[in-house]
A and B are shown apart, each in its own frame.
Chain A
Amino acid sequence: MESNKRKRSKSGFVGLRINEEHERILSKLQETSGLSKTELLLRGLEILSEYYSLEFDKPALSLELRRLEMEALRYAEVIRHIRQKGRALRLVIQELRDIDAIIDKHNADKSRLIQILLDVQKKYGWLPKLSLMWISERLGVPIAQIYTIAEFYKAFSLSPRGRHLIRVCMGTSCKVRGAEAILDRIQRILGIEKGKTTPDGKFTLETVNCLGCCALGPVMTIDGKYYGNLKIRDIDEILSKYD
C-alpha cells in the first residue's frame, strides 16, 4: 500500500490508472521527449477537438489512421526490417514527407500522375503500396486507377528490385546481332527469367525495347552503365564485377 502511494505521487498520475509497464514506458518517454503524459494527452485532445470542429467523427479518423498505420508498419517491417513501432512510424512519416515533396513539385496536378510515379520509382527503385496510397489520397485519384497505370507502363515495378538493375536491349537491330543469345546466357547464369529478381536480391533482370545506341548492339545496361558489343563469353565477367 505504502509503495503504491509513493509510486503514484512520484509520477504525478493522480486519478489516471496506470500499471508498472506503462509506468516504465512513460518515464522513458518523458526522458526522451521531455513531454509528460498529460502534455501528450492534451495534444491528442487538441487534434481531436480540431477534428470534431471540422465535423469529422472520431471513428472515421481512427479508421483512416489505422489503415495507414497498418500499411506503414507492414512496409517498415518487411522492406526496412524495422519492427519497433516508434522507429517504424518515424521512418514512414519521413518517407511520406519526401513523397509530398515530389507531389508538390508537380503542383499536385492530376495530369502529372505519371511524372510523379516516375519520380517515386526513381527514388525508391520501385513503387511501394504505401506511396500509392498516399498519392491516391493527395491527388484524389482512385488507387485502382493508379494500379492500372503502374501495370501498363514497363518503367514501373510493383515489387522491390534487386540492388542492381540489368536491362538487356531486345530491339530489332540488337536482335539480329544476337541479343537473344545474350539474354539466354544471363538467364542461365542468374537462374532467373526476365522480369524477375534473383533470390539473394542482387540482380533484377529486365528487357528493354530499344536503348537507342544500335551501333553498339547487342547492348545492355547495368545500373545505367552501358555495356556494348557484347559477346556471350563476356557476360560472366561483367556480372562478377557487381556485388
Chain B
Amino acid sequence: MVKRINSPEDLEKLRSEIIAKSKAEKHIVSVCVGTGCIALGADETINVLEKEVEKHGLKGKVEIKKVGCVGFCEQGPIIIIYPEEICYLKVKPEDVPEIVSKTLVDGKIVERLVYTDPNTGEKISKLGEIPFYKHQLRLLLANNGRIDPKSIEDYIAVGGYKALAKALFEMKPEEIIEEIKASNLRGRGGAGFPTGIKWETTRNAPGEPKYVIVNCDEGDPGAFMDRALMEGNPHSVLEGLIIGAYAIGAHEGFVYVREEYPMAAEHISIAIKQAEEYGLLGENIMGSNFNFKVTVHRGAGAFVSGESSALMTAIEGKVGEPRPKYIHTAVQGIWNKPSCLNNVKTWACVPLIILRGAEWFRSIGTKGSSGTMIFSLVGKVNNTGLVEVPMGITLRDIIFKIGGGIRGGKKFKAVQTGGPSGGFIPEWLLDTPVDFDELKKVGSMMGSGGMVVMDEDTCMVDAARYFVDFLLEESCGKCVPCREGLKELSRILNNICRGEGKEEDIQLIEDICETMREASLCALGRTAVNPVLTSLKYFREEWDEHIKDKKCRAKVCKALINYYIDPELCQACTLCLRECPVGAIHGDKEHVHWIEQEKCIKCGTCYEVCRFGAVKKISGEPIPPPPKGMKPIRKRGE
C-alpha cells in the first residue's frame, strides 16, 4: 500500500527509507532496454542474466535493473555494473554466464567486452573514462543508466521531486519564472525561444484555464534524444512540467508523444500513474493545495504536427495543421486558451535550475546559450549515439573527439544539424561552436538536436533533394509558398539528380526559396529552404557537375553512375553473378565477370557482396568496354 506524500517532510522521509533499503553491499547490473538495445536482443540477455544470477545464488546480492537508453548506441547492447561503473559493450546473451561468474562472483573484468581505444588498443572498463563519455557533461542524461524508468522510487532515491517541493513550498510562481528567466534557458525544441519569457507571457495572458504541454513529437529524422529521455527518465520531465504548471497557473497538462515511440508513451503513462498514487500529481500535490492533472496524447504519424500550433490543434482532436501565429499560442493556444508548449529537454532542465540555481545553469555553456544540449550523433560517424555536451563545444570536438571520427576511414564532408529545417555545415566551418546564434549565422540551426554526419559517399545534391521530398510529403498544404514551392523544388531537384538539370535551374531555385522564406505560413515552409540553400552555398561544384557534366562525384545519383567490374581485380568467384537480381552480370569461374549496362538496375548488390573490391562505381567518365573472355588475374593465396 503506497503512502501518500502530504508534505516535503514526507518526501524526505520516504527518500531516506528508500536509500537505506538499497544500502546493502550489492551489485546493481543495469541492462539498457531502450528501443535500440531491445532491437539487438537485450530482452533475451535479461532472461539469461536472471537465470545465471539465480544459478550462482546471488539473488539477494545482485539487483538487475532495466534502464533506459544510455546513449552509446553504436556499442549496444550495453550493461553497466555498479558501483564499479564497469561498462560492457555489444553484450550478447551468450556472454552473460561469463559476466556473472567472472565479474559478479570473482570480481574480475571480462576484457573482451570492454571498450578498446581504436588508436592505442588500451582497454577502458570504467564508464566515465571512455572517451565517448569523458568529454560529455551529462546533466539531463545523468540518471539514465542508474534508474529503472518504471520505478518512481528509483527516481526519488536519486533526488527526484526535491525541486518540486522547493518550488511549491519555498518559492512563489513569479519567483520561479524570474529564476527561469535569469538562467537564460532557451527552448530545446528548435527555435531557442527564451523559456522564461514564454512562461511569463502565458501566465500574464488573459483567460482561464491555462495549459502546459510537453512536445515529444520529435519528428526530425535522425533525432532520438527526446525518446531516450522519455523512455529512460520520464519523471524528470514530469517534475519539470508540474513546476512549470505551478509557475504559470495551469491545472491541466498534456504530453504529446509520437506514434512511433510506443515505449516512451508507455513509460510516461506509468510515471503519471505512479506520481498520482504517491500524491505528487493530481489533487492537492504534496499537501500544497495545488491541483494539476496530465493526459497523454499520442500522435499518429505527421511531421508537421510537431509544430506548436499544429500540435495544439491535434490535441483538440482535429487535423494537426499549423495556423499563422500573429497571436502566439502562449496567449491563444488549445481551445484558444493560453497554452505553454515546451520540448521534453526544456522541461527536464527545469528541476535542475530550481535546485542548483540560475547562476549555476548560466555558468555552463556560452553567453547566448546556457546549459547543456543533447545531440543525437548519427550517420557516418563511428560512435553513433546520444551526446550531452555544454553549449559552446565545437562541432569538430563532438564529431571527432566524442564521435570518434568518420566510420570506415572515409573523409568527412558535411554535418547536418537541426533536421529538415537545418542546413549542411562543411569541413571548414567545423570549429563553429554549438550555440543557437552561431549555428544560425552559418545558415543552419540548432533544431531539436539531430546531428547527421555525412562523408565523401554522400551526394549533397541528393541530400538536398531528400529533404525537399520529405518536407513536400509532410507539408500540410495550406499555404501557396510552401505547397507549390516545395513541389517545384522537388521537380527541379529530381530532374537534376536524373541528369536533366539546366543552367537556369539554380536561379529559379534561389527565387523560389526567397519566396518560401518570406511568405510561408509556418516554420516548416520558412526553414525548408535551409538544406537547399546551404547545399548550394557550400557545395556549389557538385551542383555544377550534376548540371553541366552530368556527373555525381559521390556516386549516388543512379542516373549519373554506372557499375563496372575492374577486370584486374575480379577473381571470378561468381558471387555477384549469382546475387544480381536481373542477371546482368556475365562470366563464370574461369572468366572475369562483366556487367551488361543495359540490364543493370544499379541496385548496388554486386558492390555490396564483392569481397575483392572489384566492383566500382563510375560517374562522368566513359564506361570501358566489357572484357569478354578475359581470364582472371588470380591473387596469391585465394
State the A residues within 8 Å of B (CB): 109-115, 117-118, 145, 148-149, 152-156, 170-178, 181, 184-185, 188, 208-217, 219, 226-228, 231-233
**Are the CB atoms of B302 and A153 closer together than 8 Å?**
yes
Partner among B35, B220, B320, B420 whose Cβ is within 8 Å of the Cβ of A152 = B320
**Are the CB atoms of B454 and A176 closer together than 8 Å?**
yes
**Are the CB atoms of A212 and B218 closer together than 8 Å?**
yes
Question: B415: shortest Cβ distance to chain A, in Å?
Answer: 11
**Are the CB atoms of B224 and A209 closer together than 8 Å?**
no
Q: Is B378 an interface residue (CB 8 A)?
A: yes
Instruction: Name the A residues within 8 Å of B516 (CB-CB).
Output: none
Apart from A149-B319, A156-B301, A212-B218, what 17 extra A-B contacts exist at CB < 8 Å?
A114-B298, A117-B300, A118-B259, A152-B302, A153-B300, A153-B302, A153-B320, A172-B419, A176-B380, A176-B463, A181-B603, A210-B220, A211-B260, A212-B224, A213-B36, A226-B35, A232-B605
Partner among B298, B302, B450 whose Cβ is within 8 Å of the Cβ of A172 = B450
Segment among B21-29, B310-318, B349-357 that sits at the interface with chain A: B310-318
**Are the CB atoms of B318 and A170 closer together than 8 Å?**
no
Partner among A110, A178, A210 whose Cβ is within 8 Å of the Cβ of B222 = A210
The CA-CA distance from A209 to B301 in the complex, in Å, is 9
Instruction: Name the A residues within 8 Å of B419 (CB-CB).
Output: 172
Within 8 A of A (CB), among B439-497: 450, 452, 454, 458, 463, 466-467, 470, 474, 476
With A171-B222, A177-B380 in contact, do A112 and B260 touch (Cβ < 8 Å)? no
Instruction: Name the A residues within 8 Å of B385 (CB-CB).
Output: 215
Q: Is B159 an interface residue (CB 8 A)?
A: no
The residue of chain A having its C-beta at the shortest distance from the C-beta of B316 within the complex is A111
**Are the CB atoms of B378 and A212 closer together than 8 Å?**
no
The residue of chain B having its C-beta at the shortest distance from the C-beta of A178 within the complex is B604
**Are the CB atoms of A210 and B579 closer together than 8 Å?**
no
Q: Is B74 an interface residue (CB 8 A)?
A: yes
Instruction: Name the A residues within 8 Å of B603 (CB-CB).
Output: 181, 184-185, 188, 232
Per-residue 0/1 for B302-343: is the Cβ within 8 Å of any A Cβ (1 yes, 0 no)? 110100000000111111110000000000000000000000
Instruction: Name the B residues within 8 Å of A148 (CB-CB).
Output: 319
State the B residues within 8 Å of A (CB): 35-36, 38-40, 73-74, 76, 218-224, 227, 259-261, 297-303, 305, 314-321, 376, 378-380, 384-385, 416, 419-420, 450, 452, 454, 458, 463, 466-467, 470, 474, 476, 579, 581, 603-605, 608-609
Instruction: Name the B residues within 8 Å of A110 (CB-CB).
Output: 317
Partner among A112, A154, A177, A228 whose Cβ is within 8 Å of the Cβ of B39 = A228
Instruction: Name the B residues within 8 Å of A185 (CB-CB).
Output: 581, 603, 605
The residue of chain A having its C-beta at the shortest distance from the C-beta of B474 within the complex is A209
**Are the CB atoms of A155 and B259 closer together than 8 Å?**
yes
The CA-CA distance from A111 to B604 in the complex, in Å, is 48
The CA-CA distance from A185 to B602 in the complex, in Å, is 11
Instruction: Name the B residues within 8 Å of A228 (CB-CB).
Output: 39-40
Question: B303: shortest Cβ distance to chain A, in Å?
Answer: 6
Instruction: Name the A residues within 8 Å of B297 (CB-CB).
Output: 114-115
Question: B442: shortest Cβ distance to chain A, in Å?
Answer: 19
**Are the CB atoms of A210 and B221 closer together than 8 Å?**
yes
The residue of chain B having its C-beta at the shortest distance from the C-beta of A141 within the complex is B317
The residue of chain B having its C-beta at the shortest distance from the C-beta of A151 within the complex is B319
The CA-CA distance from A185 to B608 in the complex, in Å, is 13
Instruction: Name the A residues within 8 Å of B581 (CB-CB).
Output: 185, 188
What would be 21 A-B contacts, judged by CB atoms less than 8 Å apart?
A: A114-B300, A155-B259, A171-B221, A176-B380, A178-B604, A185-B581, A185-B603, A210-B223, A210-B224, A212-B224, A212-B227, A213-B36, A213-B224, A214-B378, A214-B379, A214-B384, A215-B74, A215-B76, A231-B608, A233-B605, A233-B609
